[in-house]
């Protein structure tokens, strides 16, 4: 096929992050397992927000964070996700398009705030060690309709990237299933990020079925998610996934990351970071860096290094969108 128009098109949640520092004691008092992610309803959202100190608002969403990093690393990208036609939705669209991500999914109408869901928000509590605990109200994002999938758009990319979080709500799951079929028929590679423990707990069977049906070409997991998915220790899970998925990338927090492609194995240590400010987006940016190598046919090792550099940048400041010149950082690191 001719050179595709896009390198990566992602389907993901459109979420504005609302970040505030908290103490470990606060997390305990609120019974929030540190480092976790959960969906919360409107009532709990109001309650928790009321207890948070002053905040920063920074656009987020796992796949959109990945696309932002990938775009800053030179890839051509597009995003499919649903904001509401409200102020946060405008901000969200601006921030993606401002870095060069194409984003044409129409906003969901928001004429009546009593009855229409607003743009999704994630209340992110950042502990002194930088670990983030996420509390998400999906809002309009969870109603992404299958009609938002433009088949021609899906056919115009090298890689289709799917965010596991979005497998949870019904409508986006159907949209993703349709996109997978279109991608598969067009020879587009399909990347999938499991995103969080709870996604694997709830939908691991579906994820495994996608793998067994040969519908995942690149799998992004962390070690906990791999262990849950395969019902084994992370090392064994990595190997069993590597036997079934063409490319597997497993992040291991402070232990770096591993990748497998067929019989090939590579690993990388984390980039040194002066001070970890906020771990939000670490996995998303690792995927961004890796994909920037993958789409250039770089070696597995170089792709991992790119992932580590991008992840290192995003944890050195608040928010899950990179701020520094990622290309320059990667160039300096690769020499």
Least Cβ distance, residue 322 to its own copies (angstroms): 9
Least Cβ distance, residue 259 to its own copies (angstroms): 28
**Angle at the Cα of 123 (from 84 to 46), degrees rounded to 5?**
80
In 3D space, the residue among 331, 249, 230 whose CA is nearest the CA of residue 288 turns out to be: 249
Residue of 98, 236, 332, 334 interacting with its own copies (CB under 8 A): 98
Least Cβ distance, residue 116 to its own copies (angstroms): 13
* Measured distance CA(163)–CA(191) in Å, rounded: 9
Least Cβ distance, residue 33 to its own copies (angstroms): 23
Which of the ranges 44-52, 155-163, 181-189, 241-249 carries the binding residues for its own copies, by CB under 8 A? Answer: 44-52
Least Cβ distance, residue 119 to its own copies (angstroms): 8
Residue of 8, 62, 88, 247 interacting with its own copies (CB under 8 A): 88
What residues numbered 310-329 form the site for its own copies, per CB under 8 A? 319, 321, 323
What residues numbered 108-127 form the site for its own copies, per CB under 8 A? 118
* Measured distance CA(104)–CA(56) in Å, rounded: 26
Residue count, binding to its own copies (CB under 8 A): 27
Which of the ranges 17-25, 179-187, 198-206, 261-269 carries the binding residues for its own copies, by CB under 8 A? Answer: 17-25
Of all helices (H) and strands (E), which one includes residue 73? none
Nearer to its own copies, 263 or 274 (CB): 274
Nearer to its own copies, 54 or 115 (CB): 54
Contacts 24+ apart (CB under 8 A), 103-109: 103/78, 103/79, 104/78, 105/14, 105/79, 105/80, 105/81, 105/144, 105/148, 106/148, 107/82, 107/83, 107/140, 108/82, 108/83, 108/84, 108/140, 108/143, 109/84, 109/85
> Is 21 among the residues that bind its own copies (CB under 8 A)?
yes
What residues numbered 49-78 form the site for its own copies, per CB under 8 A? 49-50, 52-59, 68
Show the beta-strand stretches assigned E in the chain.
6-11, 15-21, 37-39, 56-59, 77-80, 102-103, 120-126, 132-137, 157-163, 189-193, 218-222, 247-251, 257-261, 264-268
What residues numbered 261-320 form the site for its own copies, per CB under 8 A? 319
Residue of 7, 95, 163, 197 interacting with its own copies (CB under 8 A): 95
Which residues partner with 19 through β-bridges?
56, 124
**Angle at the Cα of 173 (from 190 to 67), degrees rounded to 5?**
45
Nearer to its own copies, 38 or 94 (CB): 94
CB atoms within 10 A of CB 161: 28
Residue of 24, 33, 87, 129 interacting with its own copies (CB under 8 A): 87
The residues binding its own copies (CB under 8 A) are 18, 20-21, 49-50, 52-59, 68, 86-88, 91, 94-96, 98-99, 118, 319, 321, 323
């Amino acid at each position: 096929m001719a050179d595709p128009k896009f390198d990566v098109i992602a389907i993901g949640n459109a979420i504005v992050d609302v970040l505030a520092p908290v103490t470990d004691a606060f997390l305990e008092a609120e019974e929030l397992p540190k480092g976790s992610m959960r969906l919360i309803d409107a009532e709990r959202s109001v309650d928790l927000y009321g207890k948070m100190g002053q905040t920063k608002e920074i656009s987020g969403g796992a796949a959109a964070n990945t696309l932002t990093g990938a775009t800053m690393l030179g890839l051509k990208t597009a995003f499919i996700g649903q904001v509401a036609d409200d102020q946060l939705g405008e901000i969200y669209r601006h921030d993606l398009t401002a870095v060069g991500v194409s984003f044409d999914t129409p906003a969901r109408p928001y004429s009546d705030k009593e009855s229409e869901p607003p743009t999704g928000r994630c209340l992110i509590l950042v502990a002194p060690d930088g670990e983030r605990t996420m509390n998400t109200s999906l809002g309009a994002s969870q109603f992404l309709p299958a009609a938002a999938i433009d088949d021609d758009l899906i056919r115009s990319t090298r890689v289709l990237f799917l965010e596991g979080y979005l497998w949870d709500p019904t409508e986006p799951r159907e949209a993703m299933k349709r996109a997978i079929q279109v991608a598969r028929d067009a020879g587009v590679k399909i990347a999938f990020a499991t995103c969080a423990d709870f996604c694997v707990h709830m939908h691991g069977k579906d994820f495994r079925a996608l793998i067994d049906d040969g519908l995942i070409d690149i799998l992004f997991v962390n070690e906990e998610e791999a262990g849950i998915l395969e019902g084994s220790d992370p090392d064994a899970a990595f190997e069993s996934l590597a036997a079934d998925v063409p490319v597997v990338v497993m992040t291991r927090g402070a232990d770096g990351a591993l990748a497998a492609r067929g019989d090939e194995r590579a690993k990388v240590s984390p980039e040194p970071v002066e001070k970890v400010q906020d771990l939000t987006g670490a996995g998303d940016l690792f995927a961004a860096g890796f994909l920037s190598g993958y789409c250039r046919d770089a070696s597995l090792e170089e792709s991992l290094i790119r992932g580590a550099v991008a992840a290192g940048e995003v944890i050195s400041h608040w928010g899950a969108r990179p701020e520094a010149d990622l290309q320059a950082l990667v160039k300096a690191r690769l020499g």
